[in-house]
Amino acid sequence: MKLIFREYLSSLRERGELDVIMPDLLSELGMNVLSRPGIGTRQYGVDVAAVGDDDAGTRTVYLLSIKPGNLGRSDWSSGPQSLRESLDEIRDVYIRNHIPKPYRSCPVVVVLCLGGDVSEGVQQAIVGYTDNHTTDRVRFETWNGDQLASMLLTGLLRERALPDTWHSDFRKCLAMVDEPLVSFEHFCRLVGSVAKQCKPSRPARLTAVRRIYVALWTLYAWSRDGGNIESAYLCSERAALVCWVLVKDHLSAESKPARDLKSSMGRLLDLHQAIGSDYIANIVAPRACVLHGLASSVPSRESLDVNLRLFDVLGRIGLHGLWQLLSYQRLEEHQTDEKDLLRQELSKTAALIVDAITHNPILCTPVKDSQAIDIDIACHFLQRVQCDDFIQKWIANIARTTTFAFRTNGPYPCMYDDYRDLLDHPEHTNEYRRDATAASILLPTLAAWAAFTHDADTMSHLSEFAAGDYRHSTLQLLYPGSDTEEHLYEGETLHGLNVNGFRIPSCCDDMVSFIGAEADATSAFDSLSPRSHGVWPLLFLASRHHRVPVPPQFWPLR
């Protein structure tokens, strides 16, 4: 296990990676973190400052200057970003002026914190430097990857306290990153056992969240090196949901553990978004801008595989956009530069969805009814960035191809989810066709978006189809119920209020009124915790991950 973590730590090469882990690690080692790394420059050479007892039990201030990866000669002493410069700044400025008053009399340990190792050529230079500048009060330590890995295991992960299966699940999870679903399965077992054995106290929950965070980070770093982050993406969604269950009831409290819980959860969501961004930027974006690019990248000769993968990707892009939108909404009025930057990012994501759909027409032909969820998520994002025209055309296209596929017995959307059933789909009997389309959320979803975009033609087309060829199908919408909050994040499917047995009206306004009336009649939506705590995209994430329809209350009803 130590080797795994050492490998993981050495692979954290960017800013915002190793330095984000260190505060949690120090906290779990019993230290009090005084300052965390901020965005932009370091604080006079210090990335993380903490106070805690040293080996002799003396209260000591630890000032960490963090350097990801190995330390070579150029990292040590060339330029203003070099480690030597940072150490000089720490000695000259930080120790003199920035240590908080209560700890000014404490001894200081300046830590050269490295993800990897010190290269041989620099070793002597460091020894010389630290010998020269060690005083009665200030001394120097080097924490390399090996040491950090030990600290992770003994401190943050508290190896001995972990469930028995943790190690084996974690190792399998990492070993199987090239088989993402197998890796994901082990990760689910791992986070499941951590959550299950977590005591109800806030510190225990905090530890559990941090463990999951480190496990996710390790998996991400591992799979990133392996060139396949699929498993990391799936696991990040599951981790976010499991941790949300652990923290959601404690977020309103003002105590320090509660605040720590909140910030740990925030970091986990940041990591999920980082993995999502990586996925979108490196896997999806280069392919979406090429005609048939995404579809041709699926290594399979089965059109079913292409279809399933592309709708899955579509949902992920939509979700990524919704997280970006949340970040945008959170910015203050005066943060105009950041707002401009994010606005550009939002436009890019919208363009990405448009490109993906335009260049891959298979995204107009869902084969599973539940792909309505991915369509819905993408539409939500597009609608919020004012791409109504595109939504209208896309939905009209889906409606047209869906009815065509149904009537010609092509691969029309069916309600089956199991791959084996989908492989055999469609069978060419009327009885099968009726069974395979006995229920649908897709048609109401399409009708809803046709209504919101005022597409009367598509609306009447869908209305006619639903009342004609599709009249055997139970059209339905799922509204959150009083039991949704309890079950949604953990993947229980039996929750919520199923509104069914309705017909699709031919008039857009009637459709909107119908959806709105039911939304007004139920109040559970307002009490869903991600909404009340300002992380509403988590509800989309839960819907996507557990394949449950997005609450209709998110639709632009007014």
Partner 1 sequence: MRDSTPDDGVLRAVLTAGGETDPDEFTSRAVTLSLDPSPTTRRAALFALGRIVPLDDDSLLARTLERLQQAVTTPAPEGETPAAVETTLALLERAPDRLASDVEPIIVSASDNLSPSIRSALALGLLRHRAILSTNMIDAIFSALGHADLTELETVSNIDLVLYDWDVDADRDRVCTLIQSLLTHRDNPLSLSNLDNFRHRLAEAEGQLLGWYVFSLLSSGDDRLCEAAAALLPYKEARPGIDIDLSATTPDPSWIPYLARKVLAYCLLKKECAAGLLLSCLRAVTKECRDQLESDILHSFLFNYVDAIQFFKTTVDAGDPAKRSVNRLARRLESYERDLDRIGICPSFTPSERERRLQAYRQHDFMLDVHKKAEQKSIFSLVVHKSILLYGSASVANIQGADGNTHRQEMRFAEHRHSFDFPRLYVIDPVGLHFRINRFKGERPPS
Q: Tell me which residues touch partner 1 (CB under 8 A).
A: 178-182, 227-230, 279, 283, 286-287, 290-293, 295-303, 305-306, 309, 360-362, 364-365, 401, 404-405, 408, 410-411, 419-420, 423-424
Distance between CA atoms of residues 193 and 198, nearest Å: 8
Residue 304 C-beta: closest distance to partner 1, Å: 9
Residue whose CB is less far from partner 1, 86 or 371: 371
Residue 416 C-beta: closest distance to partner 1, Å: 13
Residue 93 C-beta: closest distance to partner 1, Å: 46
Q: Taking a C-beta distance cutoff of 8 angstroms, is the pair 422, 416 a contact?
A: yes
Residue whose CB is less far from partner 1, 408 or 523: 408
Residue whose CB is less far from partner 1, 308 or 550: 308
> Which contacts (CB < 8 Å, 24+ apart) does range 306-309 have?
306/362, 307/362, 307/365, 307/366, 307/367, 307/411, 308/367, 308/368, 308/422
Which two structure tokens, joined as six digits, stand for 446?
A: 């399409």
For every residue of 168-182, DSSP letters joined together read HHHHHHHHTTTSHHH
Residue 398 C-beta: closest distance to partner 1, Å: 10
Residue 300 C-beta: closest distance to partner 1, Å: 5
3 state SS of 309: helix
Residue 225 C-beta: closest distance to partner 1, Å: 13
Give the position of tokens 């410069």: 85
Task: Identify which of 213, 242, 244, 219 has the alpha carbon closest to the alpha carbon of residue 232.
Answer: 219
Distance between CA atoms of residues 379 and 190, nearest Å: 34
Backbone φ, ψ for residue 292 (5° rounding): 60, 15
Residue whose CB is less far from partner 1, 160 or 301: 301
Q: Taking a C-beta distance cutoff of 8 angstroms, is the pair 163, 193 a contact?
A: yes
Q: Taking a C-beta distance cutoff of 8 angstroms, is the pair 354, 394 a contact?
A: no
Residue 183 C-beta: closest distance to partner 1, Å: 11
Residue whose CB is less far from partner 1, 393 or 533: 393
Residue whose CB is less far from partner 1, 204 or 304: 304
Residue whose CB is less far from partner 1, 109 or 182: 182
Residue whose CB is less far from partner 1, 231 or 383: 231
Q: How would you list the strands of the sheet with 32-35, edge to edge?
A: 32-35, 48-53, 59-67, 108-114, 138-143
Residue 173 C-beta: closest distance to partner 1, Å: 15
For 246-263, give the secondary structure using H, E and C: HHHHHCCCCCHHHHHHHH
